[in-house]
Structure 1
């Protein structure tokens, strides 16, 4: 099979039929063999009923329904697990991603041997203040942190070789950073394609301003895991050595000062009255805590078992 198209969705009953017709026309026009995987992330409208109706008419449709809303990352994870196409496309269900971009993405992956092609919505139809500007700041920070020179990390329209999506683990809210996850897994041929962005026709966005706060926090998380995910002691141990060294040097200074004054019969205060005593004690305690955090991180890493973080209610 040439293509798997994975579409996570939440309450998009007004868009699903139109999206399916659009994708089907593009697939037929380009003579692609394909499967269309809808992942209903706990919709409370008629989305699942529409998907069931479509699946009864089209053998290309597969679908997964969650018991509740778990998030886009979990929806993508579930879709990736059952995707069988040589190339896997992800796109949103709100008609803002254009299926006409898929053939060019497929061609780039297969003919130019890329691992991943990320869409770039160069011209957007979103609010400048609440989406465009924060998005530019977010993408600039992601580029600086990850080393990937992509303009739009969060674009839903992406193409992957099958072995990429079978290798990476998309959890939490890490769908924004799939290119970074792929790079960390050793898939370095990552490119970008300018794609057409459509104005939303139905419903309203499911993401509020808080997504940018979450995005920056996730960026810190993924930076940590990419640098120290396999060896947490390298980070916590380094901080532990630093703090313990500060504490040891402070204690040495207190002891040396005390001996010096005793040797020359100079008046001196009690050790516990010296502020450096508390600096030394605090630094040493913090250093020990950093070492303990590093050891615990190593233990958790070695005993970690991957758990599925969502519950599937129905499959088609």
Structure 2
């Protein structure tokens, strides 16, 4: 395939009922654009793979994982395979609308943006379980990272290929993709996009993600602010720890001078456990993350394994319309 203008990367996991309308909508939206579509099947247990093979056209590639790796790894695999000048990412649950892609691509080209991010203007999700946690997470991420986007949870985005393919996606960092792009000096903007209620399948997300997001936020803040100068973080914590320890020791010394027995006091034991344990846990987590990145990047290893790659056929575009 010649280098297309746009590569559309779509992650799918147990979306058998969404495949046909998803591909039909994507092909129709991209008519007149030189494109390729890359679907990443993330270990589905339903008929997702067979439906993609049934309805895919010759511009569609399907990456089939041998197990479920998660959305971030699936996006990384699709971006690695993309050969377009621009790369778009999109969910496969039909809540994102492919009709927004041409306008986002045009804006990126005409105004020379590195990233054009979607903002779900009229989000069709549950208010308590989805919208409120999302608003809180967006506010926290926006104000701690100083990357001022309104909707970090919207997967629908268009990137220049050189930005997307150098972000270094690991773990579950897909929510922080704008932060990773900003670290490369990317110029980004937001546009309102359509959002539809989920019709088929079930959501893979819930409130359990909250603590994972907070843990990843700590990691992102470290890489954003202290990766090249860790002494500013660990030195500051060390000084704070030393000062607190000194104050506690001085307080206990005064009590000792006054004749009180200070050995075995809960405040002394608890202080030691919390200070040393907290520093050790945070430090160990960050060091482990650096080791993982070094292991994969120094050897050009991937965090996933593709079991098979399927290339669609040209005739099957018509089959979609005739079977709809």
Give the TM bin, normalised by the shorter chain: 0.7 to 0.9
In structure 2, distance between residues paired with 1:218 and 1:97: 24
In structure 1, distance between residues paired with 2:69 and 2:268: 46
Query: Is the deviation greater in 248-257 or in 232-241?
Result: 248-257
Give how far 1:54 is off.
3.4
Give how far 1:224 is off.
2.5
**For the Cα contact (< 8 Å) 2:255–2:262, is it kept in 1?**
no
In structure 1, distance between residues paired with 2:277 and 2:48: 54
Question: Which residue of 276, 286, 305 maps to 2:295?
Answer: 305
Give how far 1:242 is off.
2.7
**For the Cα contact (< 8 Å) 1:240–1:287, is it kept in 2?**
no
In structure 2, distance between residues paired with 1:294 and 1:15: 43
DSSP 3-state at the match of 2:39 = strand
In structure 2, distance between residues paired with 1:67 and 1:49: 15
DSSP 3-state at the match of 1:167 = coil
| Gap regions ≥5 residues in structure 2 | 311-324
DSSP 3-state at the match of 2:87 = strand
Matched, 1:73 2:72: yes
Give how far 1:279 is off.
5.6
2:50 maps to 49
**For the Cα contact (< 8 Å) 1:247–1:279, is it kept in 2?**
no
Count of aligned pairs: 301
Relative contact order (alpha carbons < 8 A, sep ≥ 6): 1 or 2 greater? 2
Give how far 1:15 is off.
1.1
Q: Note the 1:276-291 alignment, pairs <5 A.
A: none
Matched, 1:24 2:18: no
In structure 1, distance between residues paired with 2:62 and 2:176: 24
In structure 2, distance between residues paired with 1:50 and 1:93: 13
Q: Note the 1:128-147 alignment, pairs <5 A.
A: 128-147=127-146
Q: Note the 1:1-316 alignment, pairs <5 A.
A: 1-28=4-31, 31-55=32-56, 58-187=57-186, 189-247=187-245, 269=259, 273=262, 301=290, 304-306=294-296, 307-316=301-310
Give how far 1:286 is off.
5.5
In structure 2, distance between residues paired with 1:273 and 1:22: 73
**For the Cα contact (< 8 Å) 1:231–1:298, is it kept in 2?**
no
Change (3 A) 1:3 1:236: same
2:314 maps to none
Change (3 A) 1:2 1:290: same
In structure 2, distance between residues paired with 1:179 and 1:209: 22
CA deviation string 1:163-195 (max 9, x = no partner):
1111101111110110011112222x1100100
Give how far 1:314 is off.
1.0
DSSP 3-state at the match of 2:73 = helix
| Gap regions ≥5 residues in structure 1 | 262-267
1:264 maps to none
TM-score by length of 2: 0.81
Structure number with larger C-alpha Rg: 1
Give how far 1:39 is off.
0.1
CA deviation string 1:255-283 (max 9, x = no partner):
8999xx8xxxxxx759x85899x969x77
Change (3 A) 1:293 1:76: closer
Q: CA RMSD in A?
A: 3.2
**For the Cα contact (< 8 Å) 2:66–2:305, is it kept in 1?**
yes
Give how far 1:209 is off.
2.2
